Chain A
Amino acid sequence: MSLSVSTEEMSARVGAIVDACAELEGPLLPILHDVQKEFGFVPQPALQIIANRLNLSRAEVHGVASFYHDFREEHPGRHVLKICRAEACQSMGADRVADHAKRALKVDWHETTSDDAITLEPVYCLGLCACAPAALMDEKLVGRVDEKRLDTLIKEARS
C-alpha cells in the first residue's frame, strides 16, 4: 500500500485485477472493489487503465466510481470509523455518539484526523438495528455503542 506508485506498476497491478475479473458479466463494480482493496482507494490513473481494458471511455468509468459512496479518491487514515446515522440508531442516541466522535477526533464526516489514524464516515444501516446505536471500526462491529465505548475504540485504533 504505497502512496507513490509508478505508472508501470499501477498498470500492472490494475491490469491483473481486470484480467482476474475478465470472465464476469458486468465486471466493473467487482474491479473497482478490488482496486480499492489493493490501493486503499481508487487512484485516478486506474480509471484510464480500466477504461482501456473494458473498451469504455474514462468518463464512463469515472461516472461509475463517483456514483457510489464506497469508492474513495484519496487514501483514508490507517483506520476507518463508521457510525450509523439511520433512524433505528437515531432512536437510541446515535446523533449524540456521532457528535462525540467528531469532537474527540476533531474532524467532520469524511475527514481524517491530523495524525492520519482515523477517517470518520457516516453509514446508513449496518443491520444492527436491534442493538443500536451501531459503529464499525475497520471490520469490527460494535453494537450499543456509547461515548465511553467509542473512546476505547479510538484509543485502541491509535495505539
Chain B
Amino acid sequence: MTVKIYVPLDSGAIALGADDVASTVSGEIAKRGLDAKLVRNGSRGMYWLEPMIEVETANGRFAYGPVTPDDVASLFDAGFMTGASHDLALGATEEIPFLKKQTRLTFARCGIIDPLSVEDYRAYEGFAGLDKALKMKPAEIVKQVTDSGLRGRGGAGFPTGVKWNTVLGAKADQKYIVCNADEGDSGTFADRMIMEGEPFVLIEGMIIAGIATGATKGYLYTRSEYPDAIRIMEEAVKVARAAGILGKNILGSEYDFDMEVRTGAGAYVCGEETSLLNSLEGKRGIVRAKPPLPALEGFLGRPTVVNNVLSLASVPIIMDKGAEFYRDFGMGHSRGTIPIQLAGNIRHGGLFETAFGLTLGELVDDIGGGTATGRPVRAVQVGGPLGAYFPRDLFDTPFDYEEFAKRDGLIGHAGIVVFDDTVDLMKQARFAMEFCAIESCGKCTPCRIGAVRGVETVDKIAKGEEPEAQIELLHDLCDTMKFGSLCALGGFTPYPVLSALTHFPEDFKPRALDIAAE
C-alpha cells in the first residue's frame, strides 16, 4: 500500500523551510525506491513544530517536527514510515495536547486533507452542508444560520443571520456575496490558514450564502501580502468549477453560483467592509457612510452580503450538524467556536480553535506556554492593531465579545499578541497612532488629523514637554477619534492607546524615545 507522507504547503510552514523539506522527502522516496507519496497539506497550526511532517500508518497519523532537510534521511532510516520513534517524533498527531484540547469545527479538515482535492474534502464530510442546503428553502437556511447564533468573526460581531435576512428580503436583479479575506490585523492568520489549507470550506460557505440570499455571484477579496493563499484559492475555484460545484446548476440543482478571487493592493483600511466594496469596484478604498447598508446597496449599488472568511467557513458545519449543535458551544451571546491565534512572543504559537469562554490567562499561560523568550509576560494585545493592551491583572477575562467590551477591549479577529517585560507601552501607543496615520483613508478628519496629532503628542510626552497637559490632550484626541471617526480605523485606535495609558502609566514618563526615522 502506498504510504502517504504529509509536508505542509502553508506559508507559515514554508517560511520555516517546508519547501526544502518536501523536496528532500521526494528525493529520498525516489532514491530509496519506496512505495510512498508526498502530499502537501495545510498546517495543523502548531508553528513551533513546523515544518511538521506526518505519515499515515495502519495505526493512524504520526507526526515529526520541527524537521529540517538534514533530518529527513535519518527519519527514513529510523523507519518513520511505520511511525517508528525518532528524536523528532511527536507521537500520534491527534494526541498532541495542543491539538487534543481543541474543538475544531471551522478548521475540522485543515492540515488533514490535500487542500485541492475534492475527493479528500468529500471523504471528510465536505459538501455535506451544501447538500442539505440544496434541499432547503432560502428562508429556512437563513433561519438555521440565525438560530446558530453565529456572529461576524471579522471583529464587529454582527449577527450573520440578520445580515443574510436583509439581503434575502431585498429586491434586485443581481445580488452578491463578498468574502472579506482582507485579514490585515497583526497577530491574525486564521483566514490565511483556511484559504491555504481548506479552500473548499470557504467556497462551500459562499455558495450556501448565495443560495440563502438569492445571490449568484461571489467575490473573494484578499490581500496581496498572501500570494500563496491567492494562488491556492484561484486553483480551488477552477477545480470546483470543473467538478460542477461552481457555475450553472451547481451539483445538478436549479441554483447558479460562481465566484472570482480579487487581490487588494496593500491598504489596511480595505478590511473595512465599505472600503472593501469601493476597492472591489476599482475606486480608492475610502469608507462609505452608512446607511445605506451594504446589504441593501453594496457592490455596484446592489444588495450584498459582506462576511468574513471565518464566518462563511463556519456555515457548512452549521448546515450539516444543525443550529443547535453549533449554538451549544460557547457562552452568553458568544456562541460556537472561535479560532484563536496565539502570536508574537509566545512559546506555543499557532491556531487554537475552541468554544468561547476560556480566560485570557488560560490561553496565554497554559495553552501558549508563556513567552518564547522565557521572560515574564507583561502585556497582551488582543484584536489586532486596534485592540487593547491587557496587563496580567485582566487575565481572568473570559474570551467573549461582551466580557472583553466590559473591560474596554475587543476580540476583533481573535488574534492574541504576547509581549514580554521588555515592551515599552509608550512606544506601542505611538505605533498605534502612527499606523492609523499611515493607513487612514483620509475621508474623515478625526482619523486623518487626529492620528498625526497623536504621534506628535506622544513624542512631546517622551520629551517632557508639559507631560501632564499632553496626556490630557491625548485623552481628548482619543475621545474625538472614538466618537467622530466614520469607521473602526480611527474609532478603535484609541483602544491600544488608552489601554496602554490606563494599565501601564509608568511607561509614560519623559525619556528619550527611540523614534523611528520616518
Q: Residues of A with Cβ closer than 8 Å to B? A: 24-30, 32-33, 63-64, 67-71, 86-92, 95, 108-109, 123-132, 134, 136, 139, 141-144
| Closest 4 pairs between A and B when the two form their complex, measured CB to CB | A28-B282, A130-B349, A86-B186, A68-B265
The chain B residue with its CB closest to the CB of A27 is B282
Q: With a 10 A CB-CB cut-off, give which of A128, A130, A131, A144 has the most chain B CB atoms.
A: A130
Contact of B186 among A33, A95, A129 (CB under 8 A): A129
Residue-wise interface mask of B (336-348) relative to A, using a CB-CB cutoff of 8 A (1 in contact, 0 not): 0000011111100
Contact for B11 among A70, A92, A128, CB less than 8 A: A128
B517 CB–A CB distance under 8 Å: yes
Whether A124 lies near B15 (C-beta < 8 A) is: no
B346-373 at interface with A (beta carbon < 8 Å): 346, 349-351, 372
Question: Is B435 in the interface zone, CB < 8 Å from A?
Answer: yes
Q: How far is the CB of A150 from chain B (nearest CB, A)?
A: 14
Name 16 A/B residue pairs within 8 A (Cβ), A-sorted.
Answer: A26-B282, A26-B299, A29-B265, A67-B267, A67-B286, A68-B266, A68-B285, A87-B428, A91-B419, A92-B372, A123-B266, A127-B11, A129-B415, A131-B47, A141-B11, A142-B15
- Whether A129 contacts B224 by the Cβ 8 Å rule is no
CB < 8 Å neighbour of A143 from B12, B183, B285, B346: B12
Contact with A along B282-301 (1 / 0, CB 8 A): 11111000000000000110
Closest Cβ of chain A to B315, distance in Å, is: 23
Judge if B192 is at the interface, Cβ distance under 8 Å: yes
Q: Which residues of B contact A (CB under 8 A)?
A: 11-12, 14-16, 47-48, 50, 183-189, 192, 224-229, 260, 262-268, 279-286, 299-300, 341-346, 349-351, 372, 381, 385, 415, 417-420, 423, 428, 431, 435, 439, 441, 516-518
C-alpha gap A26/B277 in the complex (Å) = 10
Residues of A within 8 A of B385 (CB): 86-87, 124
- In the complex, the answer to whether A131 meets B349 with C-beta atoms within 8 Å is yes
New A-B pairs, 4, CB < 8 Å, besides A126-B226, A143-B12: A28-B283, A69-B267, A123-B225, A128-B12
Question: Chain A: which residue is nearest B263 at the CB level?
Answer: A33
A127-B11, A132-B344 known; A88+B266 contact, CB < 8 A: no
Judging by beta carbons under 8 Å apart, are B192 and A91 in contact?
Answer: no
Q: Are A91 and B189 in contact (CB under 8 A)?
A: no
Q: When the two chains form their complex, are residues A129 and B417 in contact, meaning their CB atoms are under 8 A apart?
A: yes
Question: How distant is the Cα of A71 from the Cα of B267 in the complex, in angstroms?
Answer: 11
Query: Which residues of chain B have C-beta atoms less than 8 A from A127's C-beta?
Result: 11-12, 183, 188-189, 192, 225-226, 229
Chain A residues closer than 8 Å to B192, beta-carbon distance: 127
CB of B417 within 8 A of CB of A87, answer yes
Determine whether the beta carbon of B344 is less than 8 Å from that of A91.
Answer: yes
- Say whether, besides A63-B284, A131-B47, A141 and B265 are in contact (CB < 8 Å): no
Q: How far is B11's CA from A90's CA once the two chains are assembled, in angstroms? A: 20
The CB with the most chain B CB atoms within 10 A, among A25, A87, A90, is that of: A87
Whole-angstrom CA separation of A32 from B12 in the bound complex: 28
Give Cα A113–Cα B472 distance, bound, in whole angstroms: 43
Specify which chain A residues have a CB less than 8 angstroms from the CB of B518 in the assembled complex: 109
Instruction: Give A69 to B418 CA distance when docked, in angstroms.
Output: 28
